[in-house]
Structure formats: structure tokens, C-alpha cells
Structure 1
Amino acid sequence: MDNPDSDAPQAHSTAVQHGQGSTFEPARTRSRAQSFVSEHLFVEDTVEPTGTIASSAVNLANTILGSGMLSMPNAMAALGLVFGSAVIVFSGFMSGLGLYLLSRCARRTQGRDSSFFAVSKLTYPNAAVFFDAAIAIKCFGVSISYLIIFGDLMPEIVEALGFESFWLLSRNFWITFAILALMPLAFQRRLDALKYTSFTALLAVVYLFVVVALYYFTPTREPLPKGDVVWFKFSSSFFTHLPVFVFAFTCHQNIFSVYNELRDNSSKQVNGTIAVSVGSACGVYQWIAILGYLTFGSKVAPNLLTMYNSNLVITLCRLSIAILVLFSYPLQCHPARNCLDKVTTAIYNAWKKEPEFEAINDAPDDEESDIMADDTATSAPVVHFMSPIKHVSITMALMILSYVVAISVTSLDLVLSFVGSTGSTTISFILPGVFYYKMHQHSRWRLMKVLSVFITIYGVFVLVFCLGANIARVISGDI
């Protein structure tokens, strides 16, 4: 490529020149974008997008499929076989709907610079900083949980393999090992660069998939504790277990990166990515939840792997899950860094009184637009590139802080329950609904606008009742 910096200014100027109603000079906009690129040293920000449906779906699926798989049978036991299966399907549908609404909102942002912050600036500009700060905290909390799970699993694994070294049996050693090993991955600029590690991590899902089936279908398996199996069950515990299903399908923090990095980010390609990732995750959850529940019934533990007799097959399964959560850490670090970048940039711009908006006229995408003609004119945040120093600084801060907390805390079960009922609910349901509705408030009432109101109401319901149930659980001491 003769001029590696040419792509970003061209994409920017193309986006801002749509329509006849622009009130600014394209040449000046082009100059500003070029000044950003000239100061920016990361080549991967200026090359053509490389994402495909396959690579993007692998990253989203790996973001979805984490430690939540191991708690699915226990969550199903609280609801019954039929009711639990229905809740998994419904949770997958609602998650997919939230992803779709966010992808539609991304089309109203400028070029390939979409983010929660950019959408917030077009809808609720005064709350944009708070939205991104909340998302960053949520992702940061999940990344800590991955380090804790890895630190707890590895000593058990090495002990089962016959190693007796003090260092190898120390959780602090393995958390330190994890944070050092993850540095090359956590510093990756693009989400698409993580596709190979995400694919490797998903092999752990396949292995768990096989192990659960093996212990259910093999008639010669060792006797396992067996409880009652019911078809339908409803009690107050439903509200404490519902966040598990919500948390299990949360990957919305990465949908904007997927949209930005897809080589062809048309609606067809983005929708295909969402369908493949959420659909495959739903199938995996159903398989593990149903077979795990049928194997152990009401006696199934919150961590499915603790129910099986310790042997080489189960030890290797634990190792594969450890690798899965290890490779999932960068997928939380990536959106947390991007959100913190937007927050600090907004604070800096407010201090320096720099302009954050410029006019833009939306052009319809490949699908028929449901936006009325007089609703097409809008404004978009100025294109922003994260500087190399800022990229390194934020990443190092996230990794150091997550390391310190993971070393200090031994259990995050209750914290993750609160994360599922607050942060995950907000990202998955409330924000997609309110963003889409706000952008289409002057449009005709069509199906997607109705669904945006529905998903918002559902998110508020989950937030209020599930958070209340978890608070009551803490007060009663049932933790």
C-alpha cells in the first residue's frame, strides 16, 4: 500500500459527505481526520477491515461461552427441565434481539467508529460518560472472575496430575502466570486478532460437550449421586437464578467492535454473525444443562465439574475450562479499554472545550430504512483514534488492577450474581432498547420499535426483581 494512512480519511470523508444537507466543509473534516491518523502509530487501525462472519462469530461465541456453562444444570434444576429449557431459549432470543438493536444503532454512527459512547452521544449525550464507565466496570469485574477461576482450577489440576511442588499448588502463582501469559493477547488492538485463541478456547467447549454426554449415555459409568428430576418448577429462587441465564448470553460489549471490523458490515453479514454466535451458544447451553440435570437431578452442584469423580478425563476437562477462561480474559479487556478511552477523551474534551460533534447525513443501508425522511439528519462524534501511549497505559492499568483484586479475593460468586442482574441486564436489554427507541422516536411504530420498548421493560423487570432477590439473599444470610 503506497499510503497506509489513506484508508481512514477516505472512509471518514465518505461517511460525512452523504446527502446534501451537510453544514460543514468536507475538506476541513478530512484534514482533521488526517491529523488524527498522522499522530497514530498503530498500522492495524488504518488497514482494511479483516473480519468475517466466521471469525467474528467465534469471538462473540467465546465471549458468551464461559464459566456460565458449568452453572447451567444447577440453574435448570431450580426451574425444572421444560421451564429451564424454555428460559434458555428465551434468554438467547432476548440477547440476540439486543445485539440486533445495537447493530442497527451502529449504522447511525459515523464510518467504522461505532461504540456505546458514540451511540450515547447521539441519544443521551449527557449520560454517555456514565454508560461507558458502567460497561467498563462490568467488563473489568468479569475479567477478574476469569483470573480467579483460573487460579482456583490450576492447583487442583496439577495435584491430580501428581505434581507436589509448592509453587504449582499455589493459586497466586497461577494468577501471576496467567497475567504474564495474557499480555500479548490483552494488548491486541483489534478484536479480530483474537480469533485464533478464541477458536482454541472453543475446543474446550467441545470437550465439555463430549464429557457431559459420555457420563450420561455410557451405561458402564461409575455410580453418580442422583436426585429427583422435575419437568416444571417455579419458586422465589427463579429470580436469583434468572441472572445466570442473562449473564450467560452477555456479549454485547463486543458487538460494536464486530461491526467496525467486519470486512462487509452490511446488515446481512452482521445479522448472520449474531445468529451463528447466539444460536450455537444456545445449543451448547441446552445440551449441557439438560444432560447435566438428567445425570444428577436436584443434587447437581453450581459447578458441574465438581460432581464427577476425579480421573484423567475430568482433569483434562478442568484444564480445558481453565484455558477457556484464560483466553476469555482479553475479550473483556478489549471493550473495557475502549470504554475507558472514550470516558477519558470526553473528560479531556470538556476540559479543553474541544468540539465533540460534527454534522452528518445518514445514507440508507442495504435494508429498507424505517427512519422518516425528516429524521435522517443528525450529528456524530468526531472520529477518534486511541494513541499508542494511551492504549498501553489503560491496558496496563486494567491488568495490574485485575491482578491485585484476583490475588486478594477468593470468591466472586455473589459479585457475579449482582453483575448479572445489573451490568449484564443493562448492556443486554435496557441500553439497546432505549438507544433504538430514541433514534426512532419520530418514526412510525413498526415491529422493531415495539420490540425495543418490550426489551427495555423486560430489562427493568430483571434489574428490579433479580437485584431485589439477591439483596434479600444477602440479608437472610443465604450465601
Structure 2
Amino acid sequence: MKIENSENDIYNHLQDDAINQTQDNLDDQGQLEQNAQNTSWFARTCGTMKKGSLRQSIIALMCAAMGSGMLSFPSNPVQSGLINSIILMIICALLSRFSMHILMKCAFKNNQHSYAELVKFALGSKMQKFYSVDMICYTFGAIVCYQILFIQFLWQVLLICGFDQSYQDQVRYIGGALFMILNFPISMMKDLYSLRYFTVVQIIIIAYILVIIIIYFFTEFSNLFDDSKIVYFDFNIELTSTFASTFFGFICHQLIFPIRSELNRSSFRRMSKIFNRAIFSELIIYLTLMIFGYLTLFQQTPKIIIDGYVGNIEFTFAQAFFAFIMFFAVPINLNPSRYTILQLIDKENNWNAYVICTVVLQYSTGIIAMIYPNVKAIFGLLGGIFGMIMVIVLPCLIYIKLELKDGKKWLDFNIMFTFLIMIVAGISGFTGAIVSQIYS
């Protein structure tokens, strides 16, 4: 069973299952590096973005991480305090970067070309299946979130159009049912490669939201600013929930192997540049959105920030655009989940299994979205359990296992440090996932 091949289908066919460069490419590497040095900074930064370039890879990695989950970040200070939320976001960024480092270190050292392949190499076929199940659960939860957000954004638009507030539950159930029916034909499609551009559109909309929040703060709110309303620290059990939901925003590790496969002159050093720039850019964007979003609404900040500006036409447009994007985000994420399931049950070419799997995924996620529309809690669940397994637990286990195999001892500093990170972050994430279900 070639479970690792599902990563190609999941992330827009970016890798070709191997990254063995030809001898000609290796011979030309020195000349290519010399040409790059002779190119101006402006040309390298603002010139045409080519396939396999650093900029293309950085943007692809950021697109994989930045999504609807970041719209919940401004509500983090409400439950944990502003300074605490900033510190937790920095910690999540560092943890994400740390796990990328050890994954790539192990992959280059042992000549492994996909996450699933590396898991199998280091931990065995059973853990590879566990990784696949974790991926299925992660994408399943993401699909639920997208359906919840679609209905939420649709409802906000309908309110502007004059719908009565008392019809909210009816809209959730009727809208959810119509969503599943209308979305099902698209979800049945096998080739959804053309829909990959909707991810980029989503990033553009997020940038638009970030800009109008900052403009709103300086034009509408700054004169009325009252720093006495700011809660800087709030030490409570919900800190773990904030950690789990924030961690969700830095999960993009499924894409690092396809990026490595496509990257020109792929090397550990060039991959490190991509990781550093992508994570730093995400951190700056997230912090800006969280701080300005919170400082405009304070304790009234809703779980999804754009729901807090009712009646503002700029945010209504954002909600309408996001509802449109969420409609297509469901089949984009359903496709890899279905593919992985069919591989696990060895029914990849069985049409009946394909249809049944699509029906189950489409309608089970839709029903959950209708009866449990708490998107913040689901973000915590995805980040605290399924994301934590993918980003921290498995990479740390892989690193420790391969280092011990190479003759290192448990008392080695790197092994002990990695083990400590795995235990502390894992317990915090799992606790946060549980807390998010109770308090969110």
C-alpha cells in the first residue's frame, strides 16, 4: 500500500515522488548560484516568480498554513490576555519551525522524500497507517470548520439584507442541508487541481480583512481608545485552549516535502531559508491581525473577528467572499481525505467505495457542522490533537528513533531536549483540545 502517494494528491500534485536531480543539474549548480549572486535584490524580490523558486515555495507554504483559522486569533486575548496570547503565538511559531528543522534534517540524512515515507522508514508501517489516520481526522475536522464558517458568513450577509435574528437556527439547518446537496457534485470530482487557485484568493481576502481592520482602528476607533479596557494577563486553564487553537495556524508540514521535491537546487540550507521566512511572515501577519482586531472590540471580540463589525459594508463584502471560498474549500479538502481512506482499505480503483466514501464524508461533516457550530472549539481540537501529532509528536519520535539508531544515547542533549519538547507541547496541546470543548 503506497500511502505516501496521497501527499501528492493532497497538495496539488507539487511533487513527483522523487527529487533525484540529474547530473547536468548538479554540474550547472555552481553557475546557477553565480548568476543568482549577480542578480539585483530588486529583481530577485519583485521579478517573475518561477516554479521551484524560493519565493514561490515560501508563498506556497504560507498558503498551506494561513486560512480561516487565523480569523479566530483576535478573540485569544479575551480568554487569555493580550501579552499571554502574544507569547503563546511566538511559542507556536518556534515549535513549528523546530519540527520543520528536525523533519528536514532526518529526510535529507536518510534520503526520504515524503512525510509518510519518512514515518514508515523510522517508525514502521503501523505508524505510517497511524499518520494516515491522523491526516484523515485533521482534514475531516477542517471540512467541518469550512461548512460552519460558510453558514456563519452567509448568515451575517443575510442580516444585512434584512433577515430577522430569530431565523438564525433555521438558516443554519436549511442552509447546511442545501450546502451539502449543492456541494456534493463538486466533491464527486476526482480532479480538483484547477480549484487550487481558491487558496490564493483566500489569502488575498485575508489580506483585505487585515488592511480594513487596521484602517478601522486608526480612522474610527483611535480617538475613543481606552487602554483601561485591555486585559494584558489572564492566567487560567483556557491558556491551553488558546495554545491549541493558535497552533492550528502554523500547521503546514504536509507541504514541506512536496516543496522540497519541486525546489530548484534543493538543499537543507535552502529549505531552512523557506521555513524561516514563511514562519516569520505568518507570525507578523497573525500578531498584527490579533492585536488590532482585539484593540477595536476588546472583550466584545467575537470568536470570528469579521462577525464583530455588523453593519459595516466593507466587512460584509469580506464575509460574502469568504462564504464563496468556503464552498470550494470543502471539496478541495475532502478529496485528499477520501483518497487516503481508499488507500487504507485498499479500494483505490473501486467506484462503489469511491461513492460511498464521498457520501459519508460529505454528509457526516455537514451534520456535525449543523449540530455543533462551535468553530473555535474545533480549531482547538485540530491544533491540540491532530495537528500536534503531525507537527510535534511524530517529528520528535522520528528524530529520536533515528538518532538512537545512529548510536546516540538517551542522555545526549539533543535527544533529551527533543523528548522534553514532545512531552510538554503534547500534553499542553491535548489538554487545550479538551479545554476548548468545555469553555469555547
Q: Does TM, normalized by the shorter one, top 0.5?
A: yes
Shift of 1:283: 1.2
- One-letter amino acid matched to 1:132: S
Q: Residues 79, 181 of structure 1: CA spacing in aligned structure 2 closer, same or farther, 3 A cutoff?
A: same
Q: Matched residue of 2:237: which SS?
A: coil
Question: Match for residue 460 of structure 1?
Answer: 423
Shift of 1:197: 3.0
Question: Match for residue 305 of structure 2?
Answer: 304
**Distance of 2:155 and 2:143 partners within structure 1:** 20
8 Å Cα contact 1:417/1:470 also seen in 2? yes
8 Å Cα contact 2:76/2:242 also seen in 1? yes
Shift of 1:64: 1.3
Shift of 1:196: 3.3
The reply on whether 1:441 has 2:440 as its aligned counterpart is no
- One-letter amino acid matched to 2:141: G
What are the ranges of 5 or more consecutive residues in structure 2 without an aligned counterpart?
A: 1-14, 24-49, 165-169
Identity in percent: 18
8 Å Cα contact 2:89/2:247 also seen in 1? no
**Distance of 1:84 and 1:150 partners within structure 2:** 27
Residue 428 of structure 1: which of 363, 370, 391 is its match?
391
8 Å Cα contact 2:103/2:399 also seen in 1? yes
Question: Match for residue 200 of structure 2?
Answer: 199
8 Å Cα contact 1:144/1:406 also seen in 2? yes
Query: Number of paired residues?
Result: 387
Name the larger-Rg structure: 1
Q: Residues 478, 237 of structure 1: CA spacing in aligned structure 2 closer, same or farther, 3 A cutoff?
A: closer
- One-letter amino acid matched to 2:388: T
- One-letter amino acid matched to 2:118: V
8 Å Cα contact 1:225/1:299 also seen in 2? no
Question: Match for residue 404 of structure 1?
Answer: 363
8 Å Cα contact 2:79/2:234 also seen in 1? yes
**Distance of 1:395 and 1:95 partners within structure 2:** 34
Q: Matched residue of 2:236: which SS?
A: coil
Residue 174 of structure 1: which of 176, 179, 186 is its match?
179
Q: Residues 101, 225 of structure 1: CA spacing in aligned structure 2 closer, same or farther, 3 A cutoff?
A: same
More helix by share: 2
Shift of 1:252: 1.7
Shift of 1:181: 4.8
Shift of 1:436: 1.7
Residue 191 of structure 2: which of 187, 199, 207 is its match?
187
Range moving further from structure 2, 72-81 or 327-336:
327-336
The reply on whether 1:418 has 2:381 as its aligned counterpart is yes
Shift of 1:465: 4.1
Shift of 1:202: 0.9
What are the ranges of 5 or more consecutive residues in structure 1 without an aligned counterpart?
A: 1-6, 16-48, 349-386
- One-letter amino acid matched to 1:429: I
Question: Match for residue 318 of structure 1?
Answer: 319
Question: Match for residue 128 of structure 1?
Answer: 128
**Distance of 1:61 and 1:407 partners within structure 2:** 27
- One-letter amino acid matched to 2:191: F
Range moving further from structure 2, 409-418 or 137-146:
409-418
8 Å Cα contact 1:135/1:423 also seen in 2? yes
- One-letter amino acid matched to 2:178: F
Q: Residues 443, 249 of structure 1: CA spacing in aligned structure 2 closer, same or farther, 3 A cutoff?
A: same
TM-score where L is the length of structure 2 = 0.73
Q: Residues 433, 229 of structure 1: CA spacing in aligned structure 2 closer, same or farther, 3 A cutoff?
A: same
Shift of 1:80: 2.5
- One-letter amino acid matched to 1:404: Y
8 Å Cα contact 2:119/2:398 also seen in 1? yes
Range moving further from structure 2, 402-411 or 90-99:
402-411
RMSD: 4.0
Q: Residues 206, 256 of structure 1: CA spacing in aligned structure 2 closer, same or farther, 3 A cutoff?
A: same
TM-score where L is the length of structure 1 = 0.68
Question: Match for residue 61 of structure 2?
Answer: 60
**Distance of 1:453 and 1:194 partners within structure 2:** 44
**Distance of 1:218 and 1:160 partners within structure 2:** 23
The 5 A counterparts of 1:368-379 are: none
Q: Residues 9, 139 of structure 1: CA spacing in aligned structure 2 closer, same or farther, 3 A cutoff?
A: closer
**Distance of 1:146 and 1:100 partners within structure 2:** 30
8 Å Cα contact 2:81/2:234 also seen in 1? yes
Q: What's the CA shift string for 1:18-40, capped at 9, x where partnerless?
A: xxxxxxxxxxxxxxxxxxxxxxx
- Report 1 or 2 for greater relative contact order, CA contacts < 8 Å, sequence distance ≥ 6: 2
Q: What's the CA shift string for 1:435-457, capped at 9, x where partnerless?
A: 122222244879xx855653543
The 5 A counterparts of 1:47-86 are: 50-86=51-87
